[in-house]
Chains A and B, each alone.
Chain A
Amino acid sequence: GGAMSFLKRFPPPAEGVRHQQPDTEAVLAGRSLGTGTLYIAESRLSWLENSGVGFSLDYPTISLHAVSRDLNAYPWEHLYVMVNAKFEEEETKEAPMAEGEEEDSDDDVEPIAEFRFVPSDKSALEAMFSAMCECQALHPDPEDEDSDNDYEGEEYDVEAHELEQGDIPTFYTYEEGLSHLTAEGQATLERLEGMLAQSVSSQYNMAGVRTEDSIREFEDGMEVDIAPAVAGQFEDAEVDH
Chain B
Amino acid sequence: MEVSHSVKERTIAENSLVILLQGLHGHVTTVDLRDESTATGRVTNVDAFMNMRLAEVTFTDRQGTVSHLDEIFVTGRNVRYVHIPDEVDIRATIERQLQAIHRVRYFGGRDKGRKEFPRAKHK
Contacts and interface: CB of A to CB of B under 8 A. Distances in A.
B67 A70 contact: yes
Interface residues of A, number: 38
A29 interface: no
Contact of A146 (B10, B11, B16, B73): B16
B4 to A, nearest CB: 11
20 contacts: A63-B33, A63-B74, A64-B78, A65-B73, A66-B70, A66-B71, A66-B72, A68-B68, A70-B67, A109-B35, A110-B35, A112-B35, A132-B73, A141-B49, A144-B49, A151-B8, A152-B8, A155-B7, A155-B11, A160-B114
A137 B51 contact: yes
A154 B72 contact: no
A207 to B, nearest CB: 47
A206 interface: no
Contacts of A160: 114
Contacts of A63: 33-35, 74-75, 77-78
Contact of A66 (B47, B59, B77): B59
Given A70-B69, A112-B35, A154 B7 contact: yes
Contacts of A87: none
Contacts of A148: 15-16
Contact of B105 (A64, A132, A141, A155): A155
Interface string B53-90: 10001010010010111111111111000000000000
Interface of A: 60, 62-70, 72-74, 80, 84, 109-110, 112, 125, 129, 132-133, 136-137, 140-141, 143-144, 146, 148-149, 151-152, 154-157, 160
Given A66-B69, A70-B67, A73-B67, A141 B16 contact: no
B53 A133 contact: yes
Contact of A137 (B8, B49, B68, B78): B49
Given A112-B35, A136-B51, A64 B11 contact: no
B67 A133 contact: no
A73 B58 CA distance: 12
A67 B75 CA distance: 15
Q: Please report whether the interface of chain B is mostly helix, strand, loop or mixed according to DSSP.
A: mixed
Nearest to A151: B11
Interface centre among B16, B47, B65, B73 (most CB of A within 10 A): B73
Interface residues of B, number: 34
B67 A64 contact: no
Interface in B85-121: 105, 114
Contacts of A137: 47, 49, 51
A162 to B, nearest CB: 14
B12 interface: yes
A163 B16 CA distance: 24
B76 A140 contact: yes
A68 B59 CA distance: 10
A66 B57 contact: yes
B75 A62 contact: yes
A126 to B, nearest CB: 8
A141 B8 contact: no
B64 to A, nearest CB: 13
B107 to A, nearest CB: 13
Contacts of B47: 137
A188 B36 CA distance: 75
Given A69-B70, A137-B47, A148-B15, A64 B7 contact: no
